[in-house]
């Protein structure tokens, strides 16, 4: 009896040791960017492809610190799983097909070639963007960066964030409106090639460069992202040098807002919903959803492999077919972004924009005031329909839908930070 008990204990201990060993290894669910700290606003370290085997180190605020080969950094905890994804399963959408392709790049999921350096990614992204801009008849010089380095003062952002976390009610809002992270697709950074190219074309029409205003809107966007479904979204905001009311959300985390849109606002809560609306488009990947419906099968896997895995020789004929294929795909996404978005997407973005802004501490009802002011501003909306999504869907319909959403959600009240906003707005020339 004692021998049986001893064997049972030994077996239990052996099983526990195996489980503990298994817990020391995890696998990337999908392609994800490794960052220097627990947040999307930290510096980009490298890109990890699906099925990469990593060693967990620590956890902080929904982010997992990991080690891969000689690299250490942070990824969203939701991007990791206990077992590798099968590469033999049938892929039903573009995202799955790309992830399967990356997973098949090596028989060893933890191999070094499952990471791409910052230089490799940046070179591939810039190389394609330069060619795409030339095809659109735009100047080939690039004035954007594919990553956020040197764009944001992180110490200042933390001070800004602290100044907006005013009391315990800020934390209660996140408890009152919990989000199911499985409701949205995971961000896939392999979309950066198209997103950066499209953003470069839009930026060619002229950007407003006041650094204080840029930091202000980027700080707000980063704070709202932290209150969204996906706090790993690497959002960066640019201001279009236009007096029209314009707003765009581009795959890869690029948001554009115009000087005209900022001038029409009266407080920070209105800006919060404008940004949260665009962040919702990015989070739910509305542009990619529509593209999937229009083209069930995409043959871009080879394009992403070539562009992400090597430092491309931009004049080499090796990349001609890749560029043409990826350019055709980017054209379709660009067309979607440049035309009025479907009303279902607008309604969804407005709904989640209210939720994100409220969770970030802002008064959601201010969003309706902004749309009402936009509706009564005297702008010829019928003439401008099609130029951007804020006038692509009838404003009256959006206002009614948002009023219903507020009643359904039972949310109201919050901060407006009118004085702080007016000080920023006074700088816009």
- Confidence tier at 92 by pLDDT (50, 70, 90): very low
**Exposure on the CB side of residue 304, measured as CA atoms within 13 A:** 25
pLDDT value at residue 378? 56
- Whether the CB-CB separation of 98 and 288 falls below 8 Å is answered with no
Q: Is 137 helix (H, G, I), strand (E, B) or coil?
A: coil
Buried b (16+ CB within 10 A) or exposed e, 64-88: bbbebeeeebbbbbbbbeeebbebe
Statement: residue 146 has pLDDT above 60: yes
Strongest mean pLDDT among 29-38, 92-101, 181-190, 318-327: 29-38
Over residues 309-333, the pLDDT tens digits come to 443 444 444 445 555 666 776 777 7
**Closest C-alpha to 68, from 58, 55, 78, 80:** 55
Query: How far is it, in rounded angstroms, from Cα 25 to Cα 221?
Result: 34
What would the pLDDT profile of 214-231 be if each residue is shown by its tens digit? 999 999 999 999 899 988
Mean pLDDT of the chain: 76
The answer to whether residues 108 and 52 touch, using CB atoms and an 8 Å cutoff, is no
From the list 428, 420, 323, 345, the residue with the least C-alpha distance to 389 is: 345
3 or 168: whose pLDDT is higher?
Answer: 168
Mean pLDDT calculated for residue range 42-63: 87
Query: Is residue 271 a contact partner of residue 247, using CB atoms and an 8 Å limit?
Result: no
Looking at residue 108, its pLDDT comes to: 42
144 vs 124: CA distance, rounded Å: 14
- Of all residues in the chain, the percent with pLDDT exceeding 90 is 27
**In which band, very low, low, confident or very high, does the pLDDT at 142 lie, cut at 50, 70 and 90?**
confident
The DSSP annotation for 9-55 comes to HHHHHHHHHHHHHHHT-EEESS-EEEESSSSTTSPEEEEE-TT-EEE
Average of pLDDT values for 71-99? Answer: 68
DSSP per-residue string spanning 216-259: HHHHHHHHHHTTSS-TT---EEEEES-SS--EEEETTTEEEEEH
Summarize pLDDT for 259-300 with one digit per residue, the tens: 999 999 999 999 999 999 999 998 887 766 555 554 433 333
The answer to whether the beta carbons of residues 386 and 392 sit under 8 Å apart is yes
- CA–CA dist 42, 158 (Å, integer): 12
CB atoms within 10 A of CB 27: 19
C-alpha pair distances (Å), 16 with each of 9, 84, 116, 185: 10, 21, 35, 34
Helix 192-203 crosses helix 320-338 at what angle (to 10 degrees)?
60
Residue matched to tokens 């950074």: 189
């Amino acid at each position: 009896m004692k021998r049986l008990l001893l064997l049972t204990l030994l077996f239990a201990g052996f099983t526990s040791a195996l489980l503990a060993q298994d817990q020391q290894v995890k696998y990337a669910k999908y392609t994800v960017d490794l960052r220097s700290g627990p947040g999307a606003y930290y510096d980009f370290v490298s890109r990890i492809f699906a099925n990469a085997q990593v060693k967990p180190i620590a956890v902080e605020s929904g982010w997992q610190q990991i080690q891969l080969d000689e690299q250490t950094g942070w990824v969203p905890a939701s991007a990791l799983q206990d077992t590798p994804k099968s590469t033999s399963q049938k892929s039903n959408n573009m995202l799955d097909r790309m992830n399967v392709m990356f997973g098949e790049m090596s028989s060893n999921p933890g191999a070094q070639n499952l990471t791409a350096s910052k230089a490799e990614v940046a070179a591939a992204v810039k190389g394609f963007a330069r060619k795409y801009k030339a095809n659109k008849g735009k100047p080939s010089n690039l004035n954007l960066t594919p990553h956020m380095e040197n764009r944001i003062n992180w110490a200042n952002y933390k001070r800004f964030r602290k100044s907006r976390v005013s009391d315990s009610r800020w934390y209660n809002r996140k408890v009152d409106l919990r989000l199911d992270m499985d409701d949205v697709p995971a961000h896939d950074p392999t979309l950066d090639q198209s997103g950066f190219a499209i953003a470069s074309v839009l930026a060619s029409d002229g950007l407003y460069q006041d650094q204080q205003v840029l930091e202000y809107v980027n700080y707000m966007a980063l704070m709202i992202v932290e209150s969204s479904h996906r706090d790993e979204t690497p959002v960066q905001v640019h201001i279009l040098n236009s007096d029209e009311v314009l707003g765009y959300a581009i795959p890869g985390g690029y948001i554009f807002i115009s000087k005209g849109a900022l001038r029409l606002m009266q407080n920070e809560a209105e800006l919060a919903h404008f940004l949260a609306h665009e962040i919702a488009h990015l989070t739910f990947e509305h542009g990619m959803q529509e593209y999937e419906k229009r083209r069930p099968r995409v043959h871009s896997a080879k394009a992403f492999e070539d562009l992400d895995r090597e430092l491309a020789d931009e004049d080499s004929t090796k990349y001609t077919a890749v560029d043409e294929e990826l350019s055709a795909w980017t054209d379709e996404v660009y067309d979607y972004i440049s035309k009025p978005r479907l009303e279902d997407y607008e309604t969804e973005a407005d709904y989640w924009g209210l939720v994100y802004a409220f969770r970030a501490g802002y008064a959601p009802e201010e969003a309706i005031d902004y749309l009402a002011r936009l509706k009564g501003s005297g702008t010829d909306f019928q003439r401008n329909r099609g130029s951007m999504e804020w006038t692509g869907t009838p404003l009256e319909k959006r206002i009614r839908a948002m009023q219903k959403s507020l009643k359904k959600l039972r949310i109201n009240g919050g901060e407006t930070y009118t004085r702080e906003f007016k000080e920023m707005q006074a700088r816009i020339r």
